[in-house]
Amino acid sequence: WKGGRFTDNYGYIWIFKPYHPFAHGQYVLEHRLVIEDSLGRTLTRKEKVHHLNGEKADNRVENLV
């Protein structure tokens, strides 16, 4: 157990959230959780989040659009 987070082979960080409505194998992409928190709602499956600087592990809200 590493605190419920891991980095995949593509450089994305996944967070353990087994009860999230869009969890994949009990994990959710961290950048989606950051945006959801800032918006105050769950994203839909069709909504995409992009990293402005291209660094997939840089999940600061100001780097996400």
pLDDT of amino acid 8: 96
Per-residue pLDDT, 1: 61
Tens digit of each residue's pLDDT (9 = 90 or more) over 8-25: 999 999 999 999 999 999
Q: Which residues partner with 64 through β-bridges?
A: 51
Residues of the chain with pLDDT under 50: none
Separation CA 60–CA 45 (nearest Å) = 21
Looking at residue 3, what is its pLDDT?
Answer: 79
Residue type, 47: E
